[in-house]
Amino acid sequence: MPDRADQLFKPPFYLRNSMVQTWLASSPVRLAAGNPLSRCSQEVIVRAGEGVHLSGFLTRADGDAPRGLAVLIHGWEGSADAPYMVFTGSALVRAGFDVFRLNLRDHGGNHQLNSGIFMGTLIDETFGAVRNVAEEYNRSDSLYLLGVSLGGNFALRIAALCGKDMIDGLKQVVAVNPPLNPCDATVRLDRNPMIRRHFLGKWKASLRIKQKAFPHIYDFSHIEGADNCMDLTEDLIPRHSDCTSAADYFSRYTLKEGILDRAAVPVTVITAEDDPIIHAEDFRRAKVNGNVRLIMLPYGGHCGYIENLSMRSWLDRKVPELFLAD
């Protein structure tokens, strides 16, 4: 049964609309006063295995004895500098954690590092990157993983993979609004004009950057006619992967039986009943094991949980609390 955390997150009435919460989650309005981590972070290139390289930002906590290293993974078409990454990361640094904000392939301006395009199926390189970050930058014996939206889907797969190949020191995983069923999530985001326009525009822009980085490989001129994310997925996937269709592609990172019920480390999933992209019922039906805890909130939209007009999120308090309770 999901934990009901109403008493922990009760936004004022003017912030209860799910679309307001969803928009504010990644809105640049939250960074109007600047990025609190920009002056104290080091950009690094991360080895991810098989010749793949990703990028990210390392921020050290004060002192020589951090509470652990927290690795943060953003959502689709987000980045290490997304507001939800920056502010939760900043809260973790203040709580005594070293923080590494990872950029997935073709995110955060790292398109030139790898010739292949980003796909949600790229779990091996993400797992490899997290492991290598831990090996190279962890000053303690404890590692923590936070994934938001699609980053949460990756984080949950990593928790399951640790049953066969443990990442040393991994104590806990937190996944915020992870899509368990990415096909359904894509259908739902396409139904909302504002959300569809946001993701489709950012995706097309990313593909244009990729083409510019590798003009001898890519010609994405055909994408301009796509007016929704599902159609663009159906167009791209057979051309650039071994998947036969969008359905085949989505099935490969759907969190079905054999994922959440094989979580090898403690996992907390945080989601909202009013998420316009992720169906809350997916979590109620999910088969889990004793390592998985679900916090189901009535409000929050998709990755928002904005508490007040200061634009700070409840996640900035809750995630450090979860990691410190380990």
Query: Tens place of pLDDT for every residue, the chain, 326 residues?
Result: 455 444 579 999 999 999 999 999 999 999 887 788 978 999 999 999 999 999 999 999 999 989 999 999 999 999 999 999 999 999 999 999 999 999 999 999 999 999 999 999 999 999 999 999 999 999 999 999 999 999 999 999 999 999 999 999 999 999 999 999 999 999 999 999 999 999 999 999 999 999 999 999 999 999 999 999 999 999 999 999 999 999 999 999 999 887 999 999 999 999 999 999 999 999 999 999 999 999 999 999 999 999 999 999 999 999 999 999 97
Q: Give pLDDT, residue 5.
A: 42
Token readout for 120 is 């949600």
Residue 227: closest CA among 253, 252, 201 = 201
Handedness of CA 48, 44, 54, 96 (dihedral sign): positive
Q: Quick count: other Cβ atoms within 10 Å of Cβ 162?
A: 19
DSSP secondary structure string, 50-65?
A: TTEEEEEEEEPPSSS-
DSSP 49: E
3-state SS assignment for residue 177: coil
Note whether 311 and 24 are within 8 A (CB): yes
CA dihedral 281, 285, 286, 292 (to 10 degrees): 80
Enclosing H/E stretch for 172: strand 170-176
- Domain boundaries in the chain? 3-182+255-324
Handedness of CA 315, 316, 317, 323 (dihedral sign): positive
Note whether 210 and 292 are within 8 A (CB): no
Phi-psi region at 311: left, alpha or beta (left = phi > 0; alpha = psi -120 to 50): left
Q: How many helices (H) and strands (E) does the chain have?
A: 10, 9
Note whether 85 and 147 are within 8 A (CB): no
Q: Give pLDDT, residue 3.
A: 52
3-state SS assignment for residue 67: coil
| Per-residue three-class SS string for 259-288 | CHHHCCCCEEEEEECCCCCCCCHHHHHCCC
CA separation for the pair 160, 259 (Å, rounded): 5
Token readout for 209 is 């950057």
Phi-psi region at 305: left, alpha or beta (left = phi > 0; alpha = psi -120 to 50): left
Tell me, what amino acid is at 116? G
Rg (alpha carbons) of the chain, rounded to whole number? 19
Token readout for 151 is 């980053």
Catalytic center residues = 149, 275, 302
Record: fold of 3-182+255-324: Rossmann fold (3.40.50)
Token readout for 63 is 């002192």
Q: Give pLDDT, residue 256.
A: 85
The model's pTM is 0.96
